[in-house]
Structure 1
Amino acid sequence: MRMRIPACALAVAALCAPSCTFKPDVDSGRFTCALDEDCGSGYRCVAQADGSARSLCFKTGEITLEACDGKDDDKNGVTDDAVILVGQACESGLKGECSHGLWRCEAGQLKCNAPAPASETCNAKDDDCDGVTDNGFDLQTSESHCGTCGHACQGGAECQAGACVELVCGDGLDNDTDGSTDCADASCADPPCGTGCQCQGLAKVEIACEDGADNDANGATDCGDAQCLGKSCGEFGRICAAQACACPGGEAGGEVSCADGLDNDCDGKTDCEDERCAGLSCNSGDAAKNCGKDPSNQAACVAREVTCSGAVDEDRDGNTDCADPDCLGLACNAADESRNCGMNAQSEPACVAREASCFGGQDEDKDGQSDCSDSDCLGLDCLADGSKNCGLDGANAEACVDKESDCLDGADSDRDGATDCEDPNCLNGACDSADASKVCRLDAVSEPVCVAPEGACSNAIDDDGDGITDCGDPDCDGQPCEEAAPEKTCVRNGQTLAICVGPETLCSNGLDDDNDSAIDCDDPHCLGRSCDAADSTMNCGMEAPSTAACLPRETACDSGLDEDGDGRTDCADEDCDGLTCRLGEVCSAGECPPT
């Protein structure tokens, strides 16, 4: 069979004849070549990249740069094989790992070959191309990726705030791999380090102080461990003290407070539930309450005993009347206000006479209070000179204060609980600013009243309207009481009975001649009168500020002294009548004549 030569090959042959030697390619019908010169003018020799190890002649105008267009633009025998951009980086317009790729030519078209979205893994990349790196992985709390991807916390540790934190602090392991073990790890600042053990201050601390075990392994057990000091070691509030388990309130002493909600004596009973609290204060804000029993006979904080006579146990604390500590200092005899609960000579609770002396520091009724501290003394004198009485000071505390002096101001100036005429200090004091004649008095039933003093003491009329007439009215004491016998005066016989009698004149017969309950020299009427029928040199006087006696008469009448204590000196004493008062002069008519 004869080979056909393409027309183009003949044309090439014509151009290069007779110097060219053409070798036609059987498959392509083109001339093969080794150099451009082998192809003739206007042709180039192009090496084929199809693996045939040949080169063929092509017109120079047909040869161009390879483009991605499904053609063999550079005539090397391979279509779209050497496109300039292919293999270079490109941007896909997507996010994350899908945002960059390489150019490639597919089916005659240039494409950016970027990765497709994939499942997100923890690798610091945006695998699913949603614009968020490692979304779905919490590096702050993930046990497998704590702080960084791939950093896993070991058993006994937990991921907190991006760091592995030791949780098991008593296993002897460095669970968070930070170089510190158990309580020595700052992560174990408070967690338990085993049974009865707790990490504190980077060390093990015993917290179970009643189990007989050395929980912190320091060689000391329970209260013998200094770390147990002050910690619970037994029932009912017992704590470790002095290396022993003890009751902080002292078991032997009983409940130290019955109002604090605590079991002070560790007997399992609190406040009023404890029998030892019976009768004791149970409310720090209300002194009127103590421990007793309620109407259902259950222990409770109830009102204190206030009625201290009649043998009724009002607060049900097992004590009645003066046997109840609540009654100390309170009235105990409904028929006798002068008695209150105190202590008898045997120091036993009893109904005794109230405090009467309110200075000197003596607790006469043994109720635990003396002088103004004793409520019995309210309004009574607290100084021997009678200038002050018991009342309340500016701080509302019992004190010795100035007596009430203004009896018409409506104020309790000495704060003894009595105002104006109600205050005994105001007796005989002015009480009406509009009527200067009115003074404080006691009426027929000893009630204080503000009245004008009785003016006439012999008319059987209650002139001042205080319910008392003539000598029965204290206003009439010492006043004339019988018009026909002006020498007679009202005299109080004892404390209440008043009589109208003449003055005592016979002062040596041992009789109460004027019926005023005072005999001889004890009767003020006898002052200066003869007191010894057998001795005219003796008369009634005072041998002490308040002791009447039968004394020698005055004999020195120029000494200025009241020798016989009758209240008169020198010539003013009738004993001196006719006696020398100055050289050459004698007393006369109560005077020493002038020289």
Structure 2
Amino acid sequence: MRRRGWICFGLWFAVAGGFGGCGSTNAGRGEGEYCDQTSDCQAGLECRSHVCQKPAAECRPPCGENEMCVDGVCKPIQPVRDQDGDGVGSDRDCDDLDPLTHPADEAQGIPAGYEYCEGRDNDCDGSTDEDCPPCAEDAVQDCGTDVGECTPGVQRCRGGVWEACSGQGPVAEVPDEKDNDCDGATDEGMPCTAGQTRACGGTVGVCTAGVQECQDGLFSECRSGVNPGTEKCNGLDDDCDGITDDGFMTGQTCDGRGECGAGVIECAADFGLRCSTEPGGSRDQSRPERCNGRDDDCDGETDEDFRIGQPCLGTGMCGNGVWECGGEEAARCSTDPGGSRDQSQAERCDGLDNDCDGSTDEDFFVGATCDGLGECGAGTIECASTATTRCSTEPGGSADQAQAELCDGLDNDCDGESDDGFGIGGGCDGVGECGVGVIECASASATRCSTDAGGTQDQSQAEQCNGRDDDCDGSTDNGDDQALCQPLPDHVVRATCARPAGACQVANPLSDCQGGWWDFNGVWADGCEVRLDNGAEVGNTCAAAAALDTLSDAAAGSQITVSGNLVPAGDEDWYRVLGFDDIASDESVDQCDNYHFKVRFGQKPAGVVFDVSLDSCTEMGCRQEICYDFRTNFRDVSGSTPLGECGCRMSNTAGYNICAQTHHTYYIRVYRQPGYAVTADPYTLTISNGNISGGVTCP
């Protein structure tokens, strides 16, 4: 493998990032060392005659150009020159006429010359063309220069190495008015007479003629013209030897640095050399540097853009590590995800970058706007735990808007469910007689079965007295009895609900019935089914006896039929009727009284009888009768005294009764004899006066 080095004025040199240019590398040289300018010397020294020395002013008188002040005394100096401009003085350069040949000066940062494989010891290490690939046997190449006393020649390959150049090379300058060192100047540095001058230089290449002056007994360097310089790889004959870019071996094969393959040596833009496959070369094979352990950009460094091996601090919660390749395009800290000491963890919602990707809580969208669940409004996403998030307006959030859950179809507590805790939608059996439904809201704080009263499937009915909870309020037969027993059956004015049996009834068969009616059988459905006779028509006492129309015996007579019933037990009916004897139209006309007052049953329930009293309630003349009559419309003379008034005379007449006007008020009491069952069967009673009775008497 060839050694890599710098080229300065035709020498290769290595700098970070690729080929670099040349400059002074002699700063800080000590006393007596070669210099180009005072800045090359250490502090307190100055550069005179290319030698770092103490200021001439320290000697009195001041030292001349080729003298140096040593301990206050001017002493002659042996000039140290750098004729080839390679930064190494003639005191140490093994060939001060070849800028490509010099030893390394590590203190001054000057690398050894590059071994050019042309038969010379370019790096002044005592070995020629070491590490060079063998040349082709008997191959020939040009070499040398024609400046001054030098002549160009050729080199031939023998045994895989180049032999010495066959031409005349430069030698040390001697006072023979020749350019022995082939630098374009004659006898420079040789003794001369003060004021003596002579022409120098030439017009080969870039050189132009100049003048040498005698200074301190020595000819100076060629001045005013352009002297031969260091040959640069630039397409010019800089060293004025008649050969352009000689010494750079352009066209020879080379192996590019890094991943750049085999090519040929060619000039670089900075006057240096490069292999044609290297960056900027005519066959550039370099690529952008990748992190892959190879020198992709062919600058002599591997992965240099990626700081490999340098300390680093991992991203986020990943700690200290070192840079390493994380793929060909980028480096990563070894503690970052995928690194050799990966410290990343699953991202948690905790305000930290746990997975070391440069983002905090990125999987949780923290800070993004959100609309809270249910009735909780707009907020921002925030961590609820290390694994979950919530909207800031949700329960427990920084702007918590949650309220106690109400039964209103809304998600008041913002837990994602509406009316949770109330069992809404679940199956239910309605209260009482209300059937199967679903649970729904009855108010903000209460529920009901949908079939209950007020529900969406309301099956409640008006409460009735039936032993059931018809209105589905949780109570059976509750409410006003009168309302529970609607509609009331005939003639019932007040109802009573018998609990717990759940049956309507007439509690008081008299007072709970419409006036004049009686609930005899206790059957609710037919109500107060018995018509009472205790109104204006029928009295229940003698004093309150019902007054009937007067019954007159005039003409054909008169008759009336009354009816009633004897309920409840112990009931009795009283009637009062005037039996009128109309004498004016009766006896006075035909001397025959028609008076015949008769009481008889038409319809008679078992055990029902009546009593009759004349003109008074105190004494009942006839008792337990079923037929009664009182008459004067007959004549009976079988006895000693005539009976009856038909005929009769208006005045006393023997054998006749006087036609008297016989008026009587009859009190009739209808009742049930003891021992007979009480029934509501009606009775009818026919009461008559006059001939309507047909003369038929009671049996």
Interval of TM-score (by shorter of Structure 1 and Structure 2): under 0.3
Higher relative contact order (CA 8 A, sep 6+): 2
Higher helix share: 1
TM-score, normalised relative to structure 2: 0.21
Larger Rg: 2
